[in-house]
A = this chain, B = another copy of it.
Amino acid sequence: MELEVKTAEPKPKQLKLADYKTDVHNDWCPGCGDFGILSAVQMALNDLQIEPHRAVIFSGIGCSSKLPHFVKVSGIHTLHGRSLPFAIGAKLANPALTVVCAAGDGDGLGIGVGHFVNAGRRNVDFTYILHNNGVYGLTKGQASPTLRLGVKTKSLPMPNINEGVNSLLLALASGFTFIARGYSYEVKHLKELIKQGILHKGSAYIDVQQPCPTYNDINTKDWYAGEDRMDANTRNPLPRIYKLEDTGYDPLVKADSSDEEIQQKINRFIEKAMEWGDKIPIGIFLKNESVSTYEMRIQERIKTYFSSPPGTRNIADTEGCSNADLSAFFAELQVT
């Protein structure tokens, strides 16, 4: 499968990368992995030439969740853990919007994980970017749900007492139809993942390994780059990050894939998803095209859903009165 997305031919009034940037002061720490994610988001939107007013970025609360303020598309900075239901509401009310969510790992996999699991069952068309830094950044470095058992980052008084959750596996179990992992210092690669996620029809989950130089002194940029382990021969570091697509991994499940094929793909998925430590794969783990979106399911019930969605349907007549003709419903209840 091609990772790179061929983008639209330049239109007469081509939007530039700068058009996706705000002049809001960015107060992330120097060296924070979030900068790479921000760039990748802006680049992806620009590559896809999405008109800024048609895109909305939702976020929760955390360092990472400040992201929408730095992107010049509409941005809804919601509550801790709640970006998904806000986003789903907005998307279902106006299915023409391009909806992206940015959440922290505490935000999305701790307090907000109930929405994550339940979103999987719906397959609403959005792209969910999880800033996975192993810590609660904005509250000063407590362990996040992805930090592994026994790890002691800088600001923990004791080693982590909980096991870390494998978010790729969780996304699979929850039913996400697009599952990928990126790395915040592989900006171009990440940009392609985000584009693929946006183009995918359905719920796309992208786990992004994001170093937090301030609080996570274990999973640092150097660690990902393998600076702590040198190849005895080349004397070069042995990077932990590698690309799935370089191994011939095929994430595609089609509507007509056989059960056997699917089972095989899932076994492969799990094998890759469980890799950690010495080898950390990035790339697209799953792209399942066999599942309808929630919007399509609504459309089956409400024939005018796409043409006249909840957000923009006219509800009043020219005189400002309700235009709902409820006579049929009143008739059901009428007695005299």
- Find the B residue at minimum CB distance from A291: B163
Q: Mark A108-144, 1 if CB is under 8 A from B, else 0.
A: 0111111001101111000000000000000000000
Say yes or no for A199: interface residue by CB 8 A criterion: no
Question: Quick check: is A218 within 8 A (CB to CB) of the other chain?
Answer: no
Q: What does DSSP make chain A's interface, helix, strand, loop or mixed?
A: helix
Segment touching B, from A53-61, A172-180, A188-196? A172-180
Q: Could you tell me the distance in whole angstroms from the C-beta of A54 to the nearest C-beta in chain B?
A: 26
Q: Is A169 an interface residue (CB 8 A)?
A: yes
Contacts of A3 in B (CB 8 A): none
B interface footprint on A146-171 (CB within 8 Å = 1, 0 otherwise): 00010000000010011111100110
- For A, the interface residue count at a CB cutoff of 8 angstroms equals 38
Chain B residues with CB under 8 Å of A117's CB are: 109, 113-114, 117, 165, 170
- The answer to whether B175 and A173 touch across the interface, beta carbons within 8 angstroms, is no
B298 x A161 contact (CB < 8 A): yes
A297 at the interface (CB under 8 A from B): yes
Write out the residue numbers on chain B whose beta carbons fall within 8 Å of the beta carbon of A163.
120-123, 175, 291
In the complex, which residue of chain B has the Cβ closest to the Cβ of A114?
B114
Which listed residue, B158, B164, B174, touches A170 by the CB 8 Å rule? B174
Q: Is the CB of B173 within 8 A of A172?
A: yes
9 contacts between A and B (CB under 8 A): A109-B117, A120-B163, A121-B165, A149-B297, A170-B170, A170-B173, A266-B270, A266-B274, A267-B267
Seed contacts A110-B118, A263-B274; 19 additional CB < 8 Å A-B pairs: A112-B114, A114-B117, A117-B170, A120-B163, A120-B165, A121-B145, A121-B162, A122-B161, A122-B162, A122-B163, A123-B163, A161-B294, A161-B301, A162-B294, A165-B174, A166-B173, A169-B173, A263-B270, A267-B267
